[in-house]
């Protein structure tokens, strides 16, 4: 079997997605997700202008060899653009291998280790009543764990609050990347945040009891000592995890956080390779690996990092917002179903428009994501429907402190 075409499809049903479609001389096709939120066209160009011609004529069964060839021959290793492009190729090859074998990808990774994938949903609110309603909606949808994000008194707009208006006038519900030619500006105050958050968790615990697993995303905004303080102050509320408490490109900073708190830590949605996790895993500085197949080079490296993490009892908590396309989401769900050290999957349902372009076979039933027996990844792309939603420029927002300093968003 040989690859005879590599096409890049850019579409914007509710938000932008970049998809690679590989076609073989035997008529099989494979899909891969290459979406990099806010920088989509850079990856589309990487695939179209640099990788597509290298793939024509190759044997699609040689997944590991192709991955190593693309990674090592570029010379310029790592980085989100390169790794999202390689991820798309890797996923598309696994999709083709599954279709050729007549098996879903998880079967090729060792078979199912569980019946379905436990999830967490996103709850948020500008005040406690709105937050409680949002938690209830998540529970009604079937989520058995809930992420809690809340507005901070005195701040106009911050990451993760669905009901707040963006500077562009849109709502956050599906996508924080506002459409337009410039990123929206939001505000931030770490002291106000550290003072406000423990009270919110106390209120949520009082309302929903001690059993509901609760999560929180710090979105890279704290220094190590601030993160340590927050982890400590949230201990009475028994979090499932505190996510991205610091900008973790400095892996050593997690040593300090870890020394001070038993709140479990999750990190890595912006990481691109296993090396970004090396110290964090070896020194057991985290509890959950937050990588997404799409930004991490695909299924092959995601399986490798989880096998490494398994030696240290570290589990998966793959990044699953709607900017991971249905293809990338399916890819990591196949990994999640197969590995032993599965933890939890972030799940934020895609919009109706997205689901008309991408037909997904994963179902969310009885609180679990259930994978179908469809061969390959189990996602179909309707190219006609995709063409009806042309790319629209969009940017993630950014933050400024009260004195005008740019801060991590
Ligand atoms: C999460 C993430 C996302 C990111 C988004 C950026 O935990 O789901 O932090 O909400 O902000 O993926 O594109
Ligand atoms: Mg996050």
Contacts of residue 388, Cβ cutoff 8 Å, sequence gap at least 6 = none
**Residue 379 CA, distance from chain mean position:** 18
Distance CA 157, CA 162 (A): 10
120 is catalytic: no
**Residue 229, C-beta contacts closer than 8 angstroms, at least 6 positions apart:** 194, 260
Return d(Cα 25, Cα 408) in angstroms, integer.
Answer: 47
Burial (CB < 10 A; 0-12, 13-18, 19+), residue 376, is buried
Active-site entry in 159, 172, 288, 368: 159
The per-residue pLDDT for 159 is 85
- Within 6 A (CB) of ligand 1 lie 37, 176, 217, 219, 269, 319, 321, 323, 346, 396
Give, using CA atoms, the residue closest to atom 10 of ligand 1: 321
Q: Retrieve residue 79's tokens.
A: 């980085």
Q: Which residues of the chain have pLDDT under 70?
A: 163-174
Q: Facing residues of 119 across strands?
A: 345
Decide if 3-103 and 117-375 have a common fold. no
Architecture of domain 117-375: Alpha-Beta Barrel (3.20)
| 398-400 vs 406-407, strand pairing mode | antiparallel
pLDDT at 156: 87
Fold observed for domain 3-103 = Enolase-like; domain 1 (3.30.390)
Ligand 1 atom with minimal separation from the 159 CA: 11
Torsion of CA 408, 121, 330, 52, to 10 degrees: -20
pLDDT value of residue 18? 98
**Can you give the pLDDT at residue 256?**
97
By alpha-carbon position, which residue is closest to atom 6 of ligand 1?
Answer: 37
- 226: tokens are 């601030």
Q: Where are the domains of the chain?
A: 3-103, 117-375
**pLDDT, position 177:** 84
Phi, psi (deg, nearest 5) at residue 177: -75, 110
Q: Is 398 a catalytic residue?
A: no
Q: Ligand 2: distance of its center to the CA of 294 in Å?
A: 15
Residue 345 CB-half CA count within 13 A:
30
């Amino acid at each position: 079997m040989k690859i005879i075409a590599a096409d890049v499809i850019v579409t914007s049903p509710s938000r932008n997605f970049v998809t690679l479609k590989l076609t073989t001389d035997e008529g099989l096709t494979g899909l891969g997700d290459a979406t990099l939120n806010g920088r989509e066209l850079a990856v589309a160009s990487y695939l179209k202008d640099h990788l597509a011609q290298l793939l024509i004529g190759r044997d699609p069964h040689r997944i590991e060899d192709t991955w190593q060839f693309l990674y090592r021959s570029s010379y310029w290793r790592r980085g989100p653009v390169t790794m999202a492009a390689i991820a798309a190729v890797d996923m598309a090859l696994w999709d083709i291998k599954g279709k050729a074998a007549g098996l879903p990808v998880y079967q090729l990774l060792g078979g199912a280790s569980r019946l379905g994938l436990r999830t967490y949903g996103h709850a948020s609110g500008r005040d406690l009543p709105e937050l409680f309603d949002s938690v209830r909606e998540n529970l009604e949808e079937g989520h058995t764990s809930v992420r809690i994000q809340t507005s901070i008194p005195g701040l106009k707009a911050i990451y993760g609050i669905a009901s707040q208006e963006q500077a562009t006038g849109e709502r956050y519900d599906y996508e924080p990347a506002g459409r337009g030619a410039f990123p929206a500006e939001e505000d931030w105050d770490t002291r106000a945040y550290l003072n406000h958050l423990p009270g919110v968790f106390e209120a949520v615990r009082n309302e929903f009891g001690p059993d509901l697993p609760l999560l929180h995303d710090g979105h890279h905004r704290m220094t190590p000592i601030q993160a340590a303080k927050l982890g400590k102050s949230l201990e009475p509320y028994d979090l499932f995890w505190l996510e991205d408490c610091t900008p973790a490109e400095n892996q050593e900073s997690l040593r300090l956080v870890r020394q001070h708190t038993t709140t479990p830590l999750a990190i890595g949605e912006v990481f691109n390779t296993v090396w970004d996790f090396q110290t964090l895993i070896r020194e057991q500085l985290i509890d959950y690996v937050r990588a997404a197949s799409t930004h991490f080079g695909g299924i092959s490296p995601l399986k490798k990092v989880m096998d490494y993490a398994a030696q240290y009892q570290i589990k998966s908590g793959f990044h699953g917002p709607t900017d991971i396309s249905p293809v990338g989401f399916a890819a990591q769900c196949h990994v999640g179903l197969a590995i032993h050290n599965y933890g939890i999957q972030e799940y934020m349902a895609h919009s109706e428009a997205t689901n008309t372009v991408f037909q997904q076979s994963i179902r969310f039933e009885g609180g679990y994501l259930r994978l179908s027996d469809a061969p390959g990844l189990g996602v179909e792309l309707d190219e006609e429907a995709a063409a009806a939603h042309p790319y629209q420029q969009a940017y993630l927002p950014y933050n400024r402190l009260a004195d005008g300093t740019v801060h991590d968003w």
